[in-house]
Amino acid sequence: MTATDRTETQTHTVRLELVDEPGELLRALKPISENGGNLMSIYHERGNLTPRGHIPVEIDFSCAPHQFETIVDALRGEGVNVIQAGTERYDEELTVLLVGHLVDTDLSDTLQKIEACANASLKDLSLSAPKGTEEASSALLRLAARSGTTEETLSTLRSIADGKDLHVVEPLTEGSR
């Protein structure tokens, strides 16, 4: 292992299952920070449950490659159920607007499908429903996409939106007019 390998950081994603009790998220974050991980984002789906009745949580953090396994082992050592652990590199940011009956079509399900199929991770979400759930609403999504997958991510997003009768306002990309 070279000195560069020790200092170069990468983005990593872990998917966890947490019990819905006070302090569980903090218990999961502690091993990450104590072992050199730098927290980037947390996607905590309190409205959804895993088949075992727990809350799915996705945490993105950066650390040197040699620290990653130590962090995963520390999470497991704390009794945190690690569903998936792997290196993910998200180099491109993509902002899109979804418009339609987002609440009626289960926004949480839409977000899960985007993350599962689109080589993307949700960085930020802003929902606007000025007339409540009876009228159309909009959601501004800021996604982190794997390098070189922007068009594939947009294609998947279009397909998910079509299946739910939602409209996608896409960003301008290089070469579009």
Q: Phi first, then psi: what are they for 66, rounded to 5°? A: -70, -15
What is the model's pLDDT at position 45?
77
What is the model's pLDDT at position 97?
92
> Cβ contacts of residue 123 below 8 Å, gap of 6+?
41, 93, 142, 143, 144
What is the model's pLDDT at position 5?
46
What is the model's pLDDT at position 4?
45
Q: Angle at CA 153, nearest 5°, toward 168 and 142?
A: 65
Report pTM.
0.51
- Judge: domain 3-87, CATH 3.40.50.300: no
What is the model's pLDDT at position 3?
47
Q: Which of 57, 58, 61 is nearest to 35 (CA)?
A: 61
CA dist 16 and 58 (Å) reads: 6
Residue-by-residue pLDDT tens, the chain, 177 positions: 444 444 688 888 898 889 888 999 999 999 999 999 999 999 887 777 776 778 889 999 999 988 999 999 999 898 888 878 875 555 677 889 999 998 888 888 888 888 777 577 777 788 898 887 778 899 988 887 776 788 888 899 999 999 999 999 987 554 444
Query: Could you tell me which CATH class the domain 90-169 is placed in?
Result: alpha beta
Amino acid (one-letter) located at 165: D
What is the model's pLDDT at position 158?
93
What is the model's pLDDT at position 135?
85
- Structure letter (DSSP) for residue 55: E
CA dist 122 and 141 (Å) reads: 7
Task: Please list the residue range(s) of the chain that carry CATH number 3.30.70.260.
Answer: 3-87, 90-169
